[in-house]
Structure 1
Amino acid sequence: MMTVPLVELREVSRRYDGGPPALDGVSLTITAGEAVAILGPSGSGKSTLLNLVAGLDRPSSGAVTVDGVRVDELGEAGSARYRRAKIGMVFQFFNLLDDLTVADNVVLPAQLAGMARGNAQRRATELLGALGVDRHAGAYPGRLSGGERQRVAVARALMNRPSLLLADEPTGALDTASGEDVQQLLKDLHADGQTIVMVTHDLALAESCATRTVQLVDGRVAADTLERVR
């Protein structure tokens, strides 16, 4: 039986203001359960690829399909609904709201998706406990360490049980110890079945967490390698 890809890019290109392509004819498929690291030098198209999969940007040509949704054909409102239903996102600088408590930051995606408040609070409590930051539920993000804030950001990303977790340099703003902490967290999430696509310069993160690495150079796929199972 053929496996239907969770993510499929078909001949995807993205140009900005008539310049050279940020992505140039990229075709890529990712199946459910993979942990894929997107590697490459600055300007190679890594973040552009992630933004296209997230529906934050549109390709100049080609098709992007995620979990049966043609992401490139969505309007602004459709893209927002798609991200709430299908995508969890983790950013380098956390993107937590400093005027909301940790618990309220985590609950927010569920509220936007229309989940009942009691169910959302129970889900947030479950996630914060599983990620080891439940003692900070009533605190504000500014009082947490970088590693703790990234754990809260992961909890928020997982709130709506996304098909796909996207991580953009998730250890890039962390010290070595906190980076190793988040590395183990992503590894554990993948072991539990979460599909992950991460953009990173952190080779240790890629080597530890990824089942596959995709190397981009000048907007094209230069290598696509299955990693040894760890």
Structure 2
Amino acid sequence: MTGPEPLIELNDVGRTYDDDRAALSGLTLRVARGEALAVLGPSGSGKSTLLNLLAGLDRPTTGEVTVDGLRVDRLNETASATYRRSRIGMVFQFFNLLDDLTVTDNVLLPAQLAGMPRARAAARAAELLERLGVARHARVHPGRLSGGERQRVAVARALMNRPPLLLADEPTGALDTASGADVRDLLRELNAEGQTIVLVTHDLALAEACATRTIELVDGRVARDVVAVSR
């Protein structure tokens, strides 16, 4: 029997920088559609490099990176930008919301960049804000929200264009305990609905709560690969 179709395939991927430091070395990895993969490891282990390769923000020195059937490592800058708009949602530790725009306008940005019709974009934004529990803040600016609320808005923005892959980089790192628990619950719910997630974190509780599978990177290689028995 064959397993679920892979959304992500990395074949013998290496990334070496100008100082001859290998951030990744011979990394081969498959991530199935619908998985929630947590990536753990010490600083300098290659976690951020892996996310940047998946997002098309960096290119491997060697090997192949395929996401949703597309060879990401072969894309030029214009094609990489289109790829990120259409196939990737990104959630960051410090939210990266624009404080001079309302919550709704922040969420609408990816749709505007992708050329989505205005009425459809507005309906999608309203749907996401309602679903994520922040609809009452639609006309508010992000600076007036709590950290947990801002992260929910950031997740709504990331999901705006219905991306096959959601990348989350330390999404609870700037949150208090209660807000972090809210975001953990949110990511778990999204994955239960079928969203594929790759999550980089130092938070073991987040990985245990959200991930269907956990890998640990050490010196740019997979040192441990564990599938969760249950969540």
**1:43 matched to which residue of 2?**
44
Aligned to 1:81: 82
Deviations 1:84-122 (A, max 9, x none): 111000000000011111000000100100100111000
Mapped partners of 2:17, 2:176: distance in 1: 34
User: How far off its partner does 1:164 sit?
Assistant: 0.5
What amino acid maps onto 1:101 in structure 2? T
Tell me what 1:218 maps to: 219
Q: TM-score, normalised by structure 1?
A: 0.98
Secondary structure of 1:224's match?
A: strand
Instruction: Determine the C-alpha separation between the residues in 1 that align with 2:19 and 2:139.
Output: 48
Aligned to 1:91: 92
Q: Report 1:116-155 matches (<5 A).
A: 116-155=117-156
Amino acid across the alignment from 1:155: A
d(CA) in 2 for partners of 1:17, 1:142: 39
Matched position secondary structure for 1:121: helix
Q: Please give the secondary structure, in 2, of the residue aligned with 1:198.
A: strand
1:18: how far off? 3.2
1:154-173, aligned counterparts within 5 Å? 154-173=155-174
Corresponding residue of 1:190:
191
Instruction: State the Cα distance separating 1:219 from its structure 2 match.
Output: 0.7
- The residue number in structure 2 matching 1:63 is 64
Deviation of 1:19 (Å): 2.3
Q: Which runs of 5+ in 1 are unaligned?
A: none
Displacement of 1:76 after TM fit? Answer: 0.4
Structure 2 unmatched runs, 5+ = none
Q: Distance in 2 between matches of 1:157 and 1:173?
A: 18
Tell me by how many angstroms 1:16 deviates: 1.1
Q: How many correspondences in the alignment?
A: 230
TM-score normalised by the chain length of structure 2: 0.98
